[in-house]
Amino acid sequence: MTTDLETLNRHLADAGRVRLFLDYDGTLADFAPTPDHVTPDPAIISLLTSLVKHPHFKVAIISGRRLEHVQKLVPVPGILLAGTYGIELQTPDGKHVDRAEYDIVRPILDDLKPRWQELIAGHEGFYLEDKDWAMAIHASFAVDDEADQVLASARHMAVEAPASAALRVLGGHKFLEIGPRLAHKGRTVEYLLDRYPWPGALPLYVGDDDKDEEAFEVIKTQGGIAILVSSEPRDTVAEYRLDAPRDTRRWLKTLSHSI
Ligand SMILES: [Mg+2]
């Protein structure tokens, strides 16, 4: 893994056409105070607008946030937006596509929600996020031991839920989420490359967490390039690293002028 992007920039300039898949939080933008916090950043909107208009780029945002939030954060015509890890899409021509059956998914979440609420009630530092298609417990501000215990119980409830085979339980650092099986950034990149082909374009994915790692793997098997956004080197399949969202923005700006 390297932070030297010179070679990459030359490689991309040679490729000519670049298909950009970008995560949002922690990749393009600094983390919001809470996951329900939606504050569009004019600088990001302007950067993405210029990339979308550039004939050598196609741009997709793939976020774990619900689509409705991604649409508010990135009101950019001609961009592809994927919410809930790609379950809900807004295509470049503005159409809405759902890749799972809401009538199967939602009743499972409705059944689980009060049980998760009861579980976290009275515990400090927990936050339940209902994303409509998925539901998450954030425990970033909880004490370590308590976070482990509560999230283990929440996971148990989720995997034991009736019809839970249609869903996938995702863990992370002080985080647990249940959502449709296809809510998977790797499967989403595969789907988008297949469904909206752009022959000869080089796919490139920029992301910062373990859900992005699933997309890195897919992008690499498709001959593309993965870039991790992280202040420290860490275990990853990405070949390149950017330190922070501001470096992603700066690099994308340079890229749009060099191709
Ligand atoms: Mg992220």
Q: Are residues 154 and 221 in the same domain?
A: no
Across the chain, which has 259 residues, the per-10-residue mean pLDDT values are 82 90 97 84 97 96 96 98 97 96 93 97 94 94 95 94 82 92 95 94 96 96 96 95 97 87
128 and 250 inside one domain = no
The sheet with strand 135-138 has its strands ordered as 127-130, 135-138, 175-180, 167-172
d(CA 48, ligand 1 centre) in Å: 17
How much distance in Å is there from the Cα of 162 to the middle of ligand 1?
30
- CA–centroid distance, 247 to ligand 1, in Å, is 14
- pLDDT of 171 reads 87
Whole-structure pTM value: 0.91
- Residue finishing a domain among 180, 215, 239: 180
Distance 47 CA to ligand 1 centre (A): 18
Cα of 14 vs centre of ligand 1, distance in Å, is 28
Distance 226 CA to ligand 1 centre (A): 14
Q: Is residue 1 domain-resident?
A: no
If you measure from the C-alpha of residue 245 to the centroid of ligand 1, how many angstroms do you get, rounded to a whole number?
Answer: 10
Residue pair 204/220 in contact by the 8 Å Cβ criterion: no
Cα distance between residue 191 and residue 100, in whole Å: 13
The answer to whether residues 16 and 63 belong to one domain is yes
